[in-house]
Amino acid sequence: MLGGSFLLPMPSSQRLAAIQCIQERPALEFPPIAPLSELWASDVFDLAKMKSSLPKDIFKSVQKTIKEGGKLDVSVANVVAQAMKDWAVGRGALYYAHVFYPLTNSTAEKHDGFISTQSDGSAICEFTGKVLVQGEPDGSSFPNGGIRSTFEARGYTAWDITSPAFLMETPNGITLCVPTVFVSWTGEALDKKTPLLRSNAAMNKQAQRLLKLLGNTEVAPVNSSCGAEQEYFLVDSAFVTLRPDLLLAGRTLFGHPSAKGQQFDDHYFGAIPQRVQVFMQDVERQMYKLGIPAKTRHNEVAPGQFEIAPFFEAANVATDHQQLTMTLLKNTARRHGMNCLLHEKPFAGINGSGKHVNWSVGNGTQGNLLDPGSSPEENMQFLLFCGAVIRGVHLYGPLLRAVVATAGNDHRLGANEAPPAIISMYLGSQLEEVYTMIKNGNLGSTDHGGLMQLGVDTLPEFLKDPGDRNRTSPFAFTGNRFEFRAVGSNQSVAGPLVAMNTILADSLKYMSDELEAKMGAGASLETAAAEVLQTIMQQHGNVVFGGDGYSSEWHEMAVSERGLENLPTTADALLVLERDDIKALFERTGVLTQVELHSRFEVYAEQYVLAVEVEAKLVLQMARTQVYPAVMTYLGQLANSLHYQETLGLPPDRAMAGRIATLNQELLANCVALESALASPPHGETAHMRHCVDTLLPLMYKIREAVDGLETLVDDNAWPLPTYQEMLFIK
C-alpha cells in the first residue's frame, strides 16, 4: 500500500461532494393522496367544526361576530376556547400559538403550553376565552418604527375571528395556531393585518354608500378578494450550504450566467421534473389540510423556477394563507433536500420571481363589483367601480410603487422581465375604448357595433375575454379583477391589498359625494354617473396605457407626456410614504394614523438598508475569503507552468495570467472601497438609503463583474462556489 492520500483532479472537492450527495439522494415517492373530502380543512377549526362542537346560541353568536366584526364576548369566548382546545388536544397538540404578522414580511408566533398545574401537583390542559382572544408577547424586538420605546414594550395580540384557528403540524409536534392582530398597548397597529382589516372596512363603508345610491336596497357587506400567484426557485440544499449568499441573503451575489439559460423557452410550462412534482404534491396536501385552495402549478420561465396559485379567497384570509404557503414551501423544500428561494432575483441574467396579486371587491348581494355583468344596471355599476380604480391608481400610483419597494424587488422591476417602476394601468382595448368614449362624452356607439349607453345597454361580451392580455403592465384588468403584477415574490400581500382597498375607498367616497351633489341638484342617476365618469377620465385617464410597458419610448413618454412618476429604486419610492397627500389619504380613511404611517416608513427604510448592508458584507467576505484565495492558488500554478514552459524553451503565453491578475486587482481595490463605504454611512434613513443605491450597490456590482469574469478564466477545479449551471440544472 502506498502511504498518504492520493488526490484526483476534480471540480473543487466541496462542489464534487455536493453533486455526489445529490446523485445519491434516494428517489422520493409520490406521497399517497387521500381523497380531497378527507383532507380538506381537516386541520382547521372552521365553522363546520364549531357548529358541531358548540351549543347553538354560542355558534350563532360567533357567526354574528364574524359577519359584523368586533370582539367576542368573554362568556362566548370561554366556550369557544374550550371546544377549540378539546379538538386540538384530541389531535395531539400540547401548545398553542398566537400567530401575527409583523412589519418584516414574515410570520411570528409565540408558543405557550396548554399545561396548568393544580394545587395537588397534577397537571391539566387549560385554555380560557381570555387567552384565546388576547395574548401578550413581549414584542420589544419587533420593528415598530419608534412607536414604542422599550420600557413600554408591551404589544398585544388579539384573535382575528374572521381567520380560523388551525393546527400546524411539523416533525417536531403539533401546535394550535390562532391568527391575530398585533397592536401596541396604546392601540397602534404594529402589524400588517390590522391595517388590512381597517382598509377593508373603509372600502366597505364607501362601497355600501355607492351601491345604495345606485338604487340597491339590499346590500351585504362588501369584501375585497385576493388570489396571489407565487413564483419561486428550487435549488438543492447541498449547493446552498456552499453559498453564503444564498444562505444568508437568499440571492446569488456572484455567478456567471450558465451557457444555457432560459433562451430556449423550454422550461416554461414544460413537464415538471419528478422530484419537484413530489415536492409540489407534498405542499398541496398540507395546504388542503389547512383549507388553502391550491389550484394551479407549473414550471415558470427560468430553469429551476416554478409557480403555485390558489383559488381566490377573502383578502384577509388569503393573506394569512399566503403567509402559510410561503412557510410551507420553505419548510417542505428542506425536507426534500432543497431550498425554496422566494427572493425576487436569486440569479442574475434570468427571470426573477414575482407575486401577481389578483384583487377584486364584491359581496353576497351584488356579486363581483368588478365584473362587467350582463344587465344595464350591472354595466353602470361596473363602469363606476372600475372608474374609481382608475382614479385611485392615477392619484396614488406612487403609493402603489411604494408598497412594493424592497431591496429584492429593486432588482426585478423595470428589468424587462417584470413591469416597470412606473405605475400605469391596462384595461384591454375594448374597455379602453369604452372609457375613451366616456371621456369624450361620446357614448353613442362603438366600432364593435354595440350601442353603448351608460345604464341603458350592456357591455359587449368580449370584454370578458381573458385572452386580451398585456403582460408588461404593472396593473392590469383581467376580465373580472385587477392583477397587480409589481408585487415581489418574498413580500406579504397585505401592503399591496391595503393600498388598493384604501385608494378605492377614497375614490368611492369622491364618487358618492359627486353623485349626491349632482342628483341633489336634479340630475338623473344616469346623467350624474356619466358626468362623474367623464370628469374622472379627463383628470385621470392618463394612467391608462395599453402599449409595451417595457419599451424605452414608454419610459420617456410616461414621464414627459403623461406626467406619471418613475421611481426606480426603494430609496425613491419609500419617500412617498412621507408625502402629505399620502398621510391625508390614510388618515381620512381611518386606515393608518400619521404615527403609524411614519413608523412604516422608518421600518421599511431600515429593512432596506439592512438588506443591502448584509449583502455588502457577504460580498466582501466571499470575495476575500473564497474567490481571492482560489484565484491566487491558480495564479501560482499558472506561474509555475509558465516557468516550466520557458525552461523547455517554449515561448510562454502570459496573456491569460495577465487577465486574471488584472481582474483580481480590480476585485481587491473595489473591496477596499466597499469596506470603507460600509464603515461610514451617512446619518438619517433617507441619506442612508441613497448611500446604498449610489455607493454600496455600484461597488458590489463592480466586484461582481470582476468575480464573474474570473469564474470564466480560473480553473474549474479550483472554483469554490457552485456555479449557475450546477444550481439551476442539477436536480
Which residues bind to Mg ion, rule: CB under 5 A? 229, 356
- Do residues 200 and 359 touch, judged by C-beta distance below 8 A? no
Binding partner of residue 296 among ligand ADP, Mg ion, none, CB under 5 to 8 Å per kind?
A: ligand ADP
Q: How far is the CB of 175 from ligand ADP (least distance, A)?
A: 28
Q: How far is the CB of 229 from Mg ion (least distance, A)?
A: 5
DSSP code, position 575: G
Question: What is the spatial distance between Cα 619 and Cα 623, in angstroms, rounded to a whole number?
Answer: 6
- Do residues 182 and 156 touch, judged by C-beta distance below 8 A? yes
- Nearer to ligand ADP by Cβ, of 368 and 717: the residue is 368
Q: What are the cell numbers at 173?
A: 409536534
Q: How far is the CB of 479 from ligand ADP (least distance, A)?
A: 8
- Nearer to ligand ADP by Cβ, of 121 and 467: the residue is 467
Binding partner of residue 310 among Mg ion, ligand ADP, none, CB under 5 to 8 Å per kind?
A: ligand ADP
Binding partner of residue 359 among Mg ion, ligand ADP, none, CB under 5 to 8 Å per kind?
A: ligand ADP
Give the residue from 308, 304, 307 showing the smallest Cα distance to 346.
Answer: 304
- Nearer to Mg ion by Cβ, of 345 and 356: the residue is 356
Q: How far is the CB of 397 from ligand ADP (least distance, A)?
A: 21
Binding partner of residue 162 among ligand ADP, Mg ion, none, CB under 5 to 8 Å per kind?
A: none
- Which of the stretches 307-315, 486-494, 559-567, 667-675 binds ligand ADP when contact is defined by CB under 6 A? 307-315
* 312 is an interface residue for ligand ADP by CB under 6 A: yes
Interface residue with ligand ADP among 157, 180, 225, 262 (CB under 6 A) is 225
Binding partner of residue 628 among ligand ADP, Mg ion, none, CB under 5 to 8 Å per kind?
A: none
Q: How far is the CB of 49 from Mg ion (least distance, A)?
A: 33
Interface residue with ligand ADP among 232, 288, 359, 554 (CB under 6 A) is 359
The β-bridge partners of 173 are: 170
* 309 is an interface residue for ligand ADP by CB under 6 A: yes
Residue listed under C-alpha cell 427572493: 343
* 322 is an interface residue for ligand ADP by CB under 6 A: no
Binding partner of residue 717 among Mg ion, ligand ADP, none, CB under 5 to 8 Å per kind?
A: none
* 358 is an interface residue for ligand ADP by CB under 6 A: yes
Q: How far is the CB of 319 from ligand ADP (least distance, A)?
A: 12
- Nearer to Mg ion by Cβ, of 229 and 711: the residue is 229
Q: How distant, in Å, are the alpha carbons of 236, 283, 299, 308 from that of 31?
A: 20, 11, 20, 18
Collapsed DSSP state (helix, strand, coil) of residue 244: helix
Q: How far is the CB of 405 from ligand ADP (least distance, A)?
A: 23
- Nearer to ligand ADP by Cβ, of 109 and 344: the residue is 344
User: How far, in whole angstroms, is CA 115 from its chain's centroid?
Assistant: 37
Binding partner of residue 498 among ligand ADP, Mg ion, none, CB under 5 to 8 Å per kind?
A: none
Binding partner of residue 691 among ligand ADP, Mg ion, none, CB under 5 to 8 Å per kind?
A: none
Q: How far is the CB of 106 from ligand ADP (least distance, A)?
A: 22
- Do residues 161 and 72 touch, judged by C-beta distance below 8 A? yes
* 368 is an interface residue for ligand ADP by CB under 6 A: yes
DSSP code, position 489: T
Interface residue with ligand ADP among 227, 346, 474, 709 (CB under 6 A) is 227
Secondary structure (DSSP) of 421-487: SB--BB--HHHHHHHHHHHTT--SB-TTS-B--TTTSPPPGGGG-TT---TT-SEEE-SSSEEE---
- Which of the stretches 67-75, 222-230, 525-533, 667-675 binds ligand ADP when contact is defined by CB under 6 A? 222-230
- Nearer to ligand ADP by Cβ, of 464 and 624: the residue is 464
In total, the chain counts a number of residues equal to 731
Question: What is the spatial distance between Cα 513 and Cα 64, in angstroms, rounded to a whole number?
Answer: 31
User: How far, in whole angstroms, is CA 570 from its chain's centroid?
Assistant: 15
Q: How far is the CB of 298 from ligand ADP (least distance, A)?
A: 8
Give the residue from 452, 449, 437, 259 showing the smallest Cα distance to 372.
Answer: 452
Binding partner of residue 227 among ligand ADP, Mg ion, none, CB under 5 to 8 Å per kind?
A: ligand ADP
Binding partner of residue 306 among Mg ion, ligand ADP, none, CB under 5 to 8 Å per kind?
A: none
- Do residues 57 and 65 touch, judged by C-beta distance below 8 A? no
- Nearer to Mg ion by Cβ, of 416 and 645: the residue is 416
- Nearer to Mg ion by Cβ, of 59 and 484: the residue is 484
- Nearer to ligand ADP by Cβ, of 480 and 507: the residue is 480
User: How far, in whole angstroms, is CA 206 from its chain's centroid?
Assistant: 27
Interface residue with ligand ADP among 160, 229, 300, 506 (CB under 6 A) is 229
Binding partner of residue 604 among Mg ion, ligand ADP, none, CB under 5 to 8 Å per kind?
A: none
297 phi/psi in degrees, rounded to 5: -145, 140
- Which of the stretches 88-96, 356-364, 375-383, 434-442 binds ligand ADP when contact is defined by CB under 6 A? 356-364
Considering only residues 143 through 202, tell me which ones interact with ligand ADP, judged by CB under 6 A.
none
Question: What is the spatial distance between Cα 32 and Cα 281, in angstroms, rounded to a whole number?
Answer: 10
Site string for ligand ADP, 466-495 (x = CB under 6 A): --------------xx--------------
User: What are all long-range contacts of 256-260, with beta carbons under 8 Å and residues at least 24 apart?
Assistant: 256/708, 256/709, 256/711, 256/712, 256/723, 256/724, 257/348, 257/349, 257/350, 257/724, 258/303, 258/723, 258/724, 258/725, 258/728, 258/729, 259/725, 260/303, 260/725, 260/729
- Nearer to ligand ADP by Cβ, of 321 and 481: the residue is 481
* 356 is an interface residue for ligand ADP by CB under 6 A: yes
Interface residue with ligand ADP among 52, 296, 633, 662 (CB under 6 A) is 296
Residue listed under C-alpha cell 385576493: 226
* 355 is an interface residue for ligand ADP by CB under 6 A: no
Q: What is the CA radius of gyration of the chain?
A: 29
Q: How many CB atoms lie within 10 A of CB 392?
A: 28
Binding partner of residue 368 among Mg ion, ligand ADP, none, CB under 5 to 8 Å per kind?
A: ligand ADP
User: What are all long-range contacts of 139-144, with beta carbons under 8 Å and residues at least 24 apart?
Assistant: 139/102, 139/182, 139/190, 142/102, 142/103, 142/104, 142/108, 142/182, 142/190, 143/102, 143/103, 143/104, 143/603, 143/606, 143/607, 144/103, 144/184, 144/190, 144/599, 144/603
Number of residues that bind ligand ADP (CB under 6 A): 16
Q: How many CB atoms lie within 10 A of CB 104?
A: 15
Element (H, E) at 157: strand 155-159
- Nearer to ligand ADP by Cβ, of 479 and 722: the residue is 479
Q: How far is the CB of 227 from ligand ADP (least distance, A)?
A: 3
Question: What is the spatial distance between Cα 658 and Cα 663, in angstroms, rounded to a whole number?
Answer: 9
- Nearer to Mg ion by Cβ, of 191 and 229: the residue is 229
Q: What are the cell numbers at 616?
A: 455588502
The β-bridge partners of 306 are: 232, 299
- Nearer to Mg ion by Cβ, of 193 and 356: the residue is 356
Secondary structure (DSSP) of 17-41: HHHHHHHTSPPPPPPPPPPHHHHTT
| Sign of the four-CA dihedral 661, 664, 670, 676 | negative
- Nearer to ligand ADP by Cβ, of 356 and 394: the residue is 356
- Nearer to ligand ADP by Cβ, of 109 and 229: the residue is 229
Kindly list the residues in this chain that would bind ligand ADP in the complex (CB under 6 A).
Answer: 225-227, 229, 296, 309-312, 356, 358-360, 368, 480-481
